[in-house]
Amino acid sequence: MAELAAAAEGPPRGRTPSPGPGGAPGPPSPRAAGAAAGSAGALSPPGAARPPAASKWVRLNVGGTYFVSTRQTLCREPKSFLCRLCCQDGPELGSDKDETGAYLIDRDPTYFGPILNYLRHGKLIINKELAEEGVLEEAEFYNIASLVRLVKERIRDNENRTSQGPVKHVYRVLQCQEEELTQMVSTMSDGWKFEQLISIGSSYNYGNEDQAEFLCVVSRELNNSTNGIVKEPSEKAKEEKEAIMSQGAAAAREAAKPQDRGWAWMVLLAAVLLQGLTLGFPSCIGIFFTDLQHEFQASNSETSWFPSIMVAVLHGGGPLCSILVKRFGCRFAVMLGGLLSGVGMVSSSFCKSISQLYLTAGLITGLGSCFSFQAGVTVLGYYFVRWRTLANAMASTGVSLGFTLWPLLSQHLLDEMGWRNTFLIFGGILLNCCVCGAIMRPVQLASGSLLQSPKPGEEPGRRAEEAQLSNGASPPHPELQQQTRRTACFQILQKYLAFDIFCQNKGYQIYTIGVTWMMMGFALPHVYLVPYAIQNGVEERRAALLISVIGFINIFIRPFTGLLSGHRVFTGRRIYLFSLAVLLCGLSNFICVISAEFNVLIIYCVILSIAMSGIGALTFQVLMDVVEMDRFSSALGLFTILESITLLIGPPLTGERSY
């Protein structure tokens, strides 16, 4: 067992002993032995930590490998060699010590582990790799009489079983959670042994608070014998065992394939609504641009900071969202985001200055929208594999619905009850993100791995340290512990911000920089198109209709783009479709230079919406092609925080007279 196996610390650097007979480490060099022999009256070498004579702990150098144990453990057998070696009550057995003060014992360290564990726990634990005859030889050398008798009995039993023919077994199948598995296996007794582990699901692909469940197959030798004849298990028992194991394997296969069917389509519907509520929401801010200017007596640049902060935080909160997803799961992140979005818009209805609006509607609502939107995108990658491209394209139609409905609803509510009451109603609408999050139940994943992430509040590396102590090795040096913590912090930073991917993956690096630069002007039409049209004589209701035209065309073009990019012809070439859409988006802005009439602006909105459809449908799909899916959440976090910088400074950089 891992808890009972004796682990040891290797010899000091530069003092590796030469191999002895049988491959065991040989005795130390004569120079080291001489130094150890004279250590009773000589000073220790610099840096050598020699424990005092009355120390509770005893350090043993067995064949060049160090072991640490207590005097109480070593003195369990009063007549043993180890007791006479370190006992304080009587005269110590003469033995050399090395420069660290450890007792030198010229024996094979491989077989010393079972000896030490027997003195600790009173049980004989022998790994399959070790021969029982070797343990017997060491037990006789150390003069541990009870262990000698126990090993001889086991050898005799093994010889009897071999002479009686093949050993028969009886099997049991136990169900347990992952946190109970180690304890169950380590406490098995009465001859029961572990045989096979089968995962039956309940392990979530994201978040680490939910425990996996396993079927644990154990066996025991069948001892029901009469006159030396062992009864063989019945055919029915064999069939039951095979049926249970096949059912467990089938359950594992079913748990590993929840994608592309069933509840996945409900999750897709929730993702559509989420993207409409979050990513589509900033499109309506331009409707309130003039009213907010008059209310707070603010300039174009000052007012544009409000939507800029919202959009920048929506994209830049990715790393924090990644931490939430890794820690608590997508469902929690989506519901928390819905709560923050609603609270932010309700608070903004009571703002007395434009700076307060930056905090409430800009920061709080933007952060909540970020949590809901990015967690909703992440969960689609787990629910869809075959239809992932189509699912992302369908989910992005939610943005189109938001672009279509938010401006129309905003203009109607603004005309009827003013911007403050409208923001109050918006807060209630955004709370529906919590309902969408409730639908996104975690995905079951069948995995045979028993490795667990550290629990909340547990220090990285703590489990490894506990494993070392339980195996008998010396605890690490404090300086090494501090260095380990620094390394763990750096690894966590890499895990959530994907700096390692950015430095090593050239495709991800180029794609991120290109999209970041594009985003500097991407949000400008949504902020300034409506006030630009109004200033050039277009009626307010017709000006609000321009944003709705962009969203309406997106509804039909985005799914088509997703289907087109999913064709085998474009496998590995989606980046070219994305680049074509970006080029068309940039060139379409020259249409506004021709004329500001309503008909010309309609043509501009049609061309712009086609380009935006390609960008919206392919942005995250191309990112999934560039990075591995298990690092997508972290890659998305860094990707969005970099593009949020240009989204933040883009609208204010347009100046006081931007249209």
Domain assignment present for residue 456? The answer is no
* Cβ pair 79, 142 in contact under 8 A: no
What is the reported pLDDT for 463?
39
β-strand partners of 215: 175, 198
- Domain-terminating residue out of 141, 163, 185: 163
- State what percent of residues in the chain have pLDDT above 90: 11
Q: Which residue has the higher pLDDT, 19 or 589?
A: 589
388: phi then psi, degrees, rounded to nearest 5:
-65, -40
What is the reported pLDDT for 333?
93
d(Cα 69, Cα 71) in Å, to the nearest integer?
Answer: 7
d(Cα 248, Cα 448) in Å, to the nearest integer?
Answer: 12
d(Cα 11, Cα 16) in Å, to the nearest integer?
Answer: 6
297 and 157 in a common domain:
no
Question: Would you say residue 178 has pLDDT above 70?
Answer: no
Give residue-wise pLDDT tens across range 215-270.
Answer: 777 777 765 444 444 444 455 555 555 655 555 555 545 444 556 778 888 999 99
- Span 389-415, average pLDDT: 83
210: phi then psi, degrees, rounded to nearest 5:
-100, 135
Q: Which residue has the higher pLDDT, 293 or 465?
A: 293
169: phi then psi, degrees, rounded to nearest 5:
-130, 155
Residue 41 amino acid letter: G
240 and 281 in a common domain:
no
Domain assignment present for residue 490? The answer is no
Question: Would you say residue 460 has pLDDT above 70?
Answer: no
215 and 76 in a common domain:
no
* Cβ pair 142, 80 in contact under 8 A: yes
β-strand partners of 220: 170
173 and 96 in a common domain:
no
370 and 268 in a common domain:
yes
Three-state DSSP at 68 gives strand
The CA-atom distances, in angstroms, between 348 and each of 44, 304, 334, 352, 370 are 73, 16, 21, 9, 18
Query: What is the layout of strands, in order, in the sheet containing 213-221?
Result: 169-177, 213-221, 193-199
First and final C-alpha spacing in the chain: 74
- Span 332-345, average pLDDT: 94
What is the reported pLDDT for 477?
47
Question: Would you say residue 574 has pLDDT above 70?
Answer: yes
Lowest mean pLDDT among 57-61, 89-93, 613-617: 89-93
Give residue-wise pLDDT tens across range 593-607.
Answer: 888 888 899 999 999
241 and 174 in a common domain:
yes
Give residue-wise pLDDT tens across range 356-384.
Answer: 999 999 999 999 999 999 888 888 888 88
d(Cα 74, Cα 86) in Å, to the nearest integer?
Answer: 8
The residues, any chain, with a CB within 8 Å of residue 355's CB and separated by 6 or more, are none
d(Cα 536, Cα 177) in Å, to the nearest integer?
Answer: 67
d(Cα 658, Cα 293) in Å, to the nearest integer?
Answer: 15
Lowest mean pLDDT among 180-184, 235-239, 513-517: 235-239
> What CATH number is associated with residue 359?
1.20.1250.20
Lowest mean pLDDT among 320-334, 369-383, 631-645: 631-645
> What CATH number is associated with residue 152?
3.30.710.10
> What CATH number is associated with residue 172?
3.30.70.2000
Residue 186 amino acid letter: S
Domain assignment present for residue 210? The answer is yes
SS (H, E, C) 542-598: HHHHHHHHHHHHHHHHHHHHHHHHCCHHHCCCHHHHHHHHHHHHHHHCCHHHHCCCH
Mean pLDDT, rounded, of the chain: 73
Q: Which residue has the higher pLDDT, 497 or 27?
A: 497
Q: Which residue has the higher pLDDT, 163 or 45?
A: 163
104: phi then psi, degrees, rounded to nearest 5:
-90, 125
Domain assignment present for residue 362? The answer is yes
d(Cα 129, Cα 138) in Å, to the nearest integer?
Answer: 16
Give residue-wise pLDDT tens across range 101-143.
Answer: 888 888 888 888 888 888 887 878 787 778 888 888 888 888 8
Give CA 201 to chain center in angstroms.
18
- Span 306-328, average pLDDT: 83
Residue 513 amino acid letter: I
Give residue-wise pLDDT tens across range 5-15.
Answer: 343 434 443 33
What is the reported pLDDT for 22?
38
d(Cα 444, Cα 62) in Å, to the nearest integer?
Answer: 48
Residue 482 amino acid letter: Q
pLDDT band with cut points at 50, 70 and 90 for residue 435: very high
β-strand partners of 170: 220
In the 8-state DSSP scheme, what is residue 97?
A: B
What is the reported pLDDT for 12?
40
245 and 153 in a common domain:
no
391 and 332 in a common domain:
yes
d(Cα 200, Cα 211) in Å, to the nearest integer?
Answer: 11
Question: Would you say residue 656 has pLDDT above 70?
Answer: no
Domain assignment present for residue 327? The answer is yes
Q: Which two tokens stand for residue 656?
A: 């006081």
Strands 213-221 and 193-199 turn out to be: antiparallel
Question: Would you say residue 82 has pLDDT above 60?
Answer: yes
Domain assignment present for residue 410? The answer is yes
Strands 213-221 and 169-177 turn out to be: antiparallel
β-strand partners of 172: 218
Domain coverage including residue 605:
263-442+503-653
What is the reported pLDDT for 30?
38
369 and 407 in a common domain:
yes
Q: Which two tokens stand for residue 267?
A: 């999750």
In the 8-state DSSP scheme, what is residue 88?
A: S
d(Cα 262, Cα 361) in Å, to the nearest integer?
Answer: 37
524 and 630 in a common domain:
yes
514 and 428 in a common domain:
yes
Where would I find the H helices in 58-217? 71-74, 81-86, 112-121, 132-141, 145-164, 178-186
Give residue-wise pLDDT tens across range 407-422.
Answer: 889 989 998 999 999 9
The whole-model pTM stands at: 0.50
Residue 61 amino acid letter: N
What is the reported pLDDT for 338?
94
Question: Would you say residue 615 has pLDDT above 50?
Answer: yes
Handedness of CA 426, 428, 432, 433 (dihedral sign): positive
Domain assignment present for residue 474? The answer is no
| Number of domains within the chain | 3
Question: Would you say residue 88 has pLDDT above 70?
Answer: no
Q: Which two tokens stand for residue 366?
A: 């933007």
Tell me the chain's radius of gyration from C-alpha atoms. 35
* Cβ pair 257, 251 in contact under 8 A: no
In the 8-state DSSP scheme, what is residue 12?
A: P
Three-state DSSP at 66 gives strand
d(Cα 54, Cα 590) in Å, to the nearest integer?
Answer: 88
Strands 57-62 and 103-105 turn out to be: parallel
Domain assignment present for residue 459? The answer is no
300 and 215 in a common domain:
no
